[in-house]
Amino acid sequence: MLARLLRPKHVASAHCDLPCGVYDPAQARIEAESVKAIMEKYAGNEDPVFRSRALTIKEERSELVKHHLWVLWTDYFKPPHLEQYPQLHQLFWEATKLAGAAGGKGTVDVAKADDLLGKIDEISKIFWATKAA
């Protein structure tokens, strides 16, 4: 009897946790742009204190890139998106690797930051195509 009284009268469902308007690959891109800018500033400054601070901030920003990518991957993209864009697994894997130790966190090579930005651009194109559908 108590269970019947406490049961909701209406059941709602959605394909994502919140309205999809909260997701945007621009968040990952902004952080990746910061990573690239820090790498460039690092290369142009020989002060060891500045460089140490730059590395710390670069690694924090790189971690945020990974976070924003993972949120898109785990919360926004769903099985129908993967069916339509089978390259998504590989694309996210490569992008998060480029934000991690193999890229943004592990190097000051601006070319790696450019590669990361390229992957984010590919993800963004797919994201906006799914939003238009």
Rounded CA separation 130/23 (Å): 12
Number of H helices, E strands in the chain: 6, 0
Amino acid at 42: Y
**Dihedrals phi, psi of 22, to nearest 5 degrees:** -85, -10
Q: Which pLDDT does position 93 carry in this prediction?
A: 97
Is the pLDDT confidence value at 132 over 70?
A: yes
Tokens of 21: 């308007």
* 80 and 16 Cβ atoms separated by less than 8 Å: no
* 2 band by pLDDT with thresholds 50, 70 and 90: low
* 20 band by pLDDT with thresholds 50, 70 and 90: low
Q: Counting beta carbons within 10 angstroms of the beta carbon of residue 132, is it exposed (0 to 12), middle (13 to 18) or buried (19 or more)? A: exposed
78-90 mean pLDDT = 95
Tokens of 24: 């945007």
Domain range 23-132, CATH architecture? Up-down Bundle (1.20)
Give residue limits of the domains in the chain: 23-132
Q: Which pLDDT does position 113 carry in this prediction?
A: 97
> Tens digits of per-residue pLDDT, 32-79?
999 999 999 999 999 999 999 999 999 999 999 999 999 999 989 999
